[in-house]
Structure 1
Amino acid sequence: MDPGDVEYEPISVKAVLAEMKDTAELLIDLSYSAVLHGSDEVAAEVLELEERMDVLQMQARMSLLMAARSPEDAEALAPVLGVVGAAEKISDAAGDIAKIVLEDIGIPEAMRTAIPEAVETVVRAQVASDSDYRDVSLGDCNLETETGVRVIAIRRAGEWIVNPDRTTTFEADDVALLRGTETALSTVYEAVTGDAYDPPEPVDSSIDDLDRAVDSIVLMKNMSELAVDLAYGAVLFDSEGVAEEVVELEAEVDALKSRFEAWVLRAAPRVEDPITLRGLVHLASATEVISDAALEISEGVLRGLDTHPVVAAAVEESDEVIVRLTVAAGSQLADASLGELEVKTATGMRVIAVRRGDGDWVVSPGPETAVRDGDVLIAKGTRAGAGRLADLAGADDPIDA
């Protein structure tokens, strides 16, 4: 749809913001997966979603302009416009990443085996007419619990379902976007499509500087995604401490990009065809834009402006929720590491930050990170997963103040 066709109509700003958040996060996953698989089909889905995001941002801006009737309204709504603009920037950056594939800009083969180490893979799977999953709901097949694969979106007859729930049913010819590990995806992809899953083959690079450049991009991607998660968390919880972590991450991404550029220039004389490095340069630039957008999301919190209730509500009600909870003394999590209890596997929640009792932050904690009673966890995942994590932490409310 052309954004020029959009006309003003009364809509729920909260619903639009929630869909923009879900769509922006989905676009990040899809765009990198398109690069990983060299998939024109997945890249095309990115551009379809980018067009949808253009419509959403236009609707959001019109509604916000209609709502501002005084200087006080303008002050309250300014951070909301920042969130809208940031989501649009993420969308545009994802589109630029997809064009690396669609326009054959070129990227070293080694890149395609570096990304799986950093993220779960997203694949596009069209439901076959004879699939075992046809006419089965997500709740009935219990897909995520049984296989570890999550359906993050479905496109049906040109329309997107960006937050499928347990009542959503697979239909023949649906395009399902599946996220999970390569091993788990292999079985599910074949059951959904009837075709074998063909993951990328490992490729070794003999150029150290190129390897360092690829490693830098993988780290930039991880940090940018974490920055986006934390930025929404800062908005939801009106936390200046979390917002300051976004500032640090954005600065680190900038520094990584500078080092990346140096390594690419050093590697270029030893690459058979230096033109293949253009895609890496595009990828790094787009990734930096994503981290910049995260900073824009949290800017209102950093400047001391109160989070508008509609933004907090939209983040809370989006597809993947961000929760904060306090670890209770005597709970299973107290004095255990995230890895010991296999928190991500057991709950489906990814702990993205831990605030210690003394106020210090542990950003992007790993399996070895120990959790103590009184620690505040910020985690991302499904609502059901939030409940499971709350049980482990002995918290009464998974969104604990």
Structure 2
Amino acid sequence: MKELEEIKDCLIEMKNLSSLMVDLAFSSVMYDSEDIADEVYILEEKMDELTLKVKKLALRAAKYEENPEKLLSIIEMATINEQISDSAYEIADLVLRDVEPHPIIRKIMHDVDEEIGRIKVNKGSILIGQPLKQLKLPTKVGVRLIAIKRGGRYIYNPSKDEKIEEGDILIAVGSGIDRLRELSNEKGEEGEFIEEEE
């Protein structure tokens, strides 16, 4: 059934979104980043759209189900994901409302080995046109891409064949965020990729 296939795709995207939002929300507070907090805000709107879409699809699918009550679990799953995203938004909203975080938050920041960053790939970046399998970001730079925002859509857990494009927003986790910013030419400077030693 077409509706059930669409529901499956929506729920997968909602799962990815809620997980990404939680990571970004905590990171926005830890690093006092309004850019990352704004990203959570945008994702929250996307989650609301997906929740409404799943509910509408479930209602349409109920017409063809012998036991339509089974679809309630789908609506409940969508609602739970939305609640997770709402909580993530509330965390990020601390940054947007300029609430000073408790010192324990700073302590957590220092104890966390991996930073989460939101980096834009600008013109002149040597990353442009390169597939991830060639860039080997985890070993060469020390970061792992969680998602790529390209225009209005997100590519979650991008494949090794995915190529970086100018204007992409890279959402990455790792210890090499600053190096990735340099390679992405965020400051409009020319960079040189460090080849991995043989």
Q: Do the aligned partners of 2:28 and 2:95 also contact (CA within 8 Å) in 1?
A: yes
Correspondences of 1:78-89 after superposition (within 5 Å): 78-89=72-83
Matches within 5 A, 1:95-114: 95-114=89-108
Q: Which runs of 5+ in 2 are unaligned?
A: 188-198
Residue 110 of structure 1 and its aligned partner are, at CA, apart by: 4.6
3-state SS of 2:53 partner: helix
| Of 19, 29, 47, the match for 1:25 | 19
1:237-293 deviations in whole A, cap 9, x for unaligned?
xxxxxxxxxxxxxxxxxxxxxxxxxxxxxxxxxxxxxxxxxxxxxxxxxxxxxxxxx
Post-superposition offset of 1:115: 3.3
Q: Indicate which of 173, 183, 192 corresponds to 2:184.
A: 192
Match of 1:72 among 67, 74, 84: 67
Q: How does 1:145-294 map to 2 (within 5 A)?
A: 145-180=139-174, 182=175, 184-195=176-187
* Residues 3-61 of structure 1 deviation map (CA, whole Å, 9 limit, x = unaligned): xxxxxx95611111100000000000000110011111110000001111111111111
Counterparts of 2:73 and 2:131, CA distance in 1: 38
Return the alpha-carbon distance in structure 1 between the equivalents of residues 31 and 88 of structure 2: 15
Structure showing greater relative contact order (alpha-carbon pairs closer than 8 Å, 6 or more residues apart): 2
CA distance in 2, matches of 1:51, 1:155: 15
Aligned match of 1:120 in 114, 121, 124? 114
Say which SS state the counterpart of residue 12 (structure 2) adopts: helix
TM-score when normalising by structure 2: 0.83
Residues 67, 173 of structure 1: alpha-carbon distance in 2 compared, 3 angstrom cutoff? same
Indicate which of 113, 117, 138 corresponds to 1:144: 138
SS of the aligned residue for 2:184 comes to helix
- Letter paired with 1:187: R
Moved more, 141-150 or 76-85: 141-150
User: What is the CA-CA distance between 1:89 and the residue it aligns to?
Assistant: 0.3
Aligned AA (1:29) = D
The code of the aligned residue for 1:55 comes to: E
Contact 1:36/1:113 (CA < 8 Å) preserved in 2?
no
Q: Distance in 1 between matches of 2:14 and 2:81?
A: 6
Note if contact 1:137-1:168 (Cα within 8 Å) is conserved in structure 2: yes
RMSD: 2.2
Tell which deviates more after alignment, 169-178 or 44-53.
169-178
Matches of 1:163 and 1:53, distance apart in 2: 18
Letter in 2 for 1:84: A
> In 1, distance between residues paired with 2:79 and 2:62?
17
User: 1:58 is matched with which residue?
Assistant: 52
Identity fraction in percent: 31
| Residue 210 (structure 1) aligns with | none
Deviation at 1:108, TM superposition (A): 2.8
Moved >4 Å (runs of 4+): none
Superimposed CA distance per residue, residues 171-196 of structure 1 (whole angstroms, 9 cap, x where no aligned partner): 1221111111x3x333223222355x
Give the secondary structure class of the aligned counterpart of 2:116.
strand
Please give the secondary structure, in 2, of the residue aligned with 1:52: helix
CA deviation profile, 1:315-361 (whole Å, cap 9, x unmatched): xxxxxxxxxxxxxxxxxxxxxxxxxxxxxxxxxxxxxxxxxxxxxxx
The reply to whether residue 39 of structure 1 matches residue 33 of structure 2 is yes
Count of residue pairs brought into register by the alignment: 184
The CA deviation at 1:119 is 6.5
Is contact 1:126–1:174 with CA below 8 Å preserved after alignment? yes
Q: Aligned residue for 1:231?
A: none
**1:131–1:193 Cα contact (<8 Å) kept:** yes
Q: Structure 1 unaligned runs (5+)?
A: 1-8, 196-401
Report the AA paired with residue 152 of structure 1: I
Contact 2:145 2:170 in 1 (8 A): yes
Contact 2:146 2:158 (8 Å CA) reproduced: yes
The residue type paired with residue 137 of structure 1 is: P
For residue 134 of structure 2, what is the amino acid of its counterpart? Answer: D
Cα gap change, 1:120 to 1:71, in 2 (>3 Å): farther
Name the aligned partner's letter for residue 133 of structure 2: G
Q: Secondary structure at the match of 2:13?
A: helix
Q: Determine if contact 2:122/2:186 at 8 Å carries over to the other structure.
A: yes
Decide whether aligned partners of structure 1 residues 154 and 33 sit closer, same or farther in structure 2, where only a CA change above 3 A counts: same
